[in-house]
Amino acid sequence: MGSSCSIDQLPIPGRRGDFTSIKIPIEAHKRGLDRNKFNLVGRLDLMKIKISEVRQIAIALWKPKGVSRIVPVGKGYFTIFLDNEEDRNNIWMGGPWMIDKQLLRLSPWSPCFDPVALIR
């Protein structure tokens, strides 16, 4: 699902106001959006269950046909990386999903997703 590159291939950082920024070529941005188009965002109280347990239970429940990964992104949210539409649709429409007595809340992935902004 991922790829690597040498440090020489990374864009040179600049500044935009008070923030460090880099310019990402539009084609690279489009490739990133395409690579994540089947992702979902999940939320559980991760103070009550470890992410490793979430992964184990979720994969057993969903039985995905393709590659899947669950990566925590903060505030109890995690991205569910999927590589095909069938798995995404089965997870999205197959619920409600219970993981360790918690209702798994799902939403479509968005490139603008910010778990901190949702808590405010």
SS3 75: coil
Residue 20: left if φ>0, alpha if ψ -120 to 50, beta else—which one? beta
pLDDT of residue 8: 80
pLDDT of residue 2: 56
pTM attached to this predicted model: 0.79
pLDDT of residue 7: 78
Pair 35, 43: CB distance under 8 Å: no
Write out the chain's pLDDT in tens, 120 residues: 456 778 787 778 889 899 898 888 899 889 988 999 999 999 999 999 999 999 999 999 999 999 999 999 999 999 999 999 999 999 999 999 999 999 999 999 998 888 877 655
SS3 107: strand
Give me the domains of the chain, ranges plus CATH numbers. Answer: 38-110 (3.30.70.330)
pLDDT of residue 29: 86
* 111-120 per-residue burial string, b: 16 or more CB within 10 A, e: under 16: eeeebeeeee
pLDDT of residue 6: 80
SS3 18: coil
pLDDT of residue 9: 76
Structural tokens at position 72: 């925590």
Structural tokens at position 70: 């669950």
